[in-house]
Amino acid sequence: MSLDTIIELENVAVFQREILVLSEVNIQVDKGEFVYLIGKTGSGKSSLMQTIYADLPFKEGTGTVAGFNLKKIKNKEIPYLRRKLGIVFQDFQLLTDRSVADNLHFVMKSTGWKDKKKMQERTQDVLDKVGLGTKGFKMTHQLSGGEQQRVAIARALVNDPEIILADEPTGNLDPETSHGIMNLLFDISKNGRAVLMATHNYSLINEFPARILKCENGKVVE
């Protein structure tokens, strides 16, 4: 394992309840690397991501994510692991009853931010990064799908994570909007964060080439 390795799984078995989904998983992802995770629906992509952010119990093998040992992590340590991870979903999962800025503040409060002024500064900073610097006051339902996904990415960036896990982040977006999101995610990886993105969209992979991991037949292959 090199000093730059941020995700390392060795001989890991991934279970959903008692069902074995993936076995003998060996993955290494370095800082600043962009990696695609592909495979059919039900092939284990989401389960693998859930294992990485300690949402599924770790039963077999060894795993280190952002310096945390997944085998030994205690429940009270999981929030600290998750601060080092930014997670972006296909369906945005924004709170529709509040503004863009308040969506970010909600996450910040739940991860231990207290200082209002610092929260506002950080919010403005990440909204600028994703091209929504003037939209903080808007309600999320007033935004387009692409803008909502940018809010979700801003929210994922708020704790300055070392890893972004993106599960089908362009799944509900048109091609042009998807390009904007891809450029944004690649920029994030160029700034030294690892980005692991699950997708079905092979045309995007052709346009934005990067390393590919594939889930098939219960295994993960390069």
Chain segment 47-102, per-residue pLDDT in tens: 999 999 999 989 999 999 999 999 999 999 998 898 899 999 888 889 999 999 99
pLDDT for 140-157, tens place per residue? 999 999 999 999 999 999
In this predicted model, which residue has the larger pLDDT, 35 or 111? 35
pLDDT for 6-53, tens place per residue? 999 999 999 998 899 999 999 999 999 999 999 998 899 999 999 999
Q: Domain 1-84+162-222 sits in which CATH superfamily?
A: P-loop containing nucleotide triphosphate hydrolases (3.40.50.300)
Confidence of residue 105 (pLDDT cuts 50, 70, 90): very high
What is the per-residue pLDDT for 41? 86
Distance separating alpha carbons of residues 27 and 36, to the nearest angstrom: 12
pTM of the model: 0.93
Beta-ladder partners of 164: 86, 195
What is the per-residue pLDDT for 89? 86
Burial degree of 18 (CB within 10 A; 0-12, 13-18, 19+)? exposed
pLDDT above 90 for 111: no
Distance separating alpha carbons of residues 108 and 16, to the nearest angstrom: 29
pLDDT above 90 for 192: yes
What is the per-residue pLDDT for 169? 93
What is the per-residue pLDDT for 1? 61
C-alpha distances in Å from residue 23, one per residue of 14, 62, 136: 6, 12, 44
Characterize the bridge pairing of strands 85-88 and 163-167.
Answer: parallel
Q: Where in the chain is the domain with CATH 3.40.50.300?
A: 1-84+162-222
In this predicted model, which residue has the larger pLDDT, 201 or 69? 69
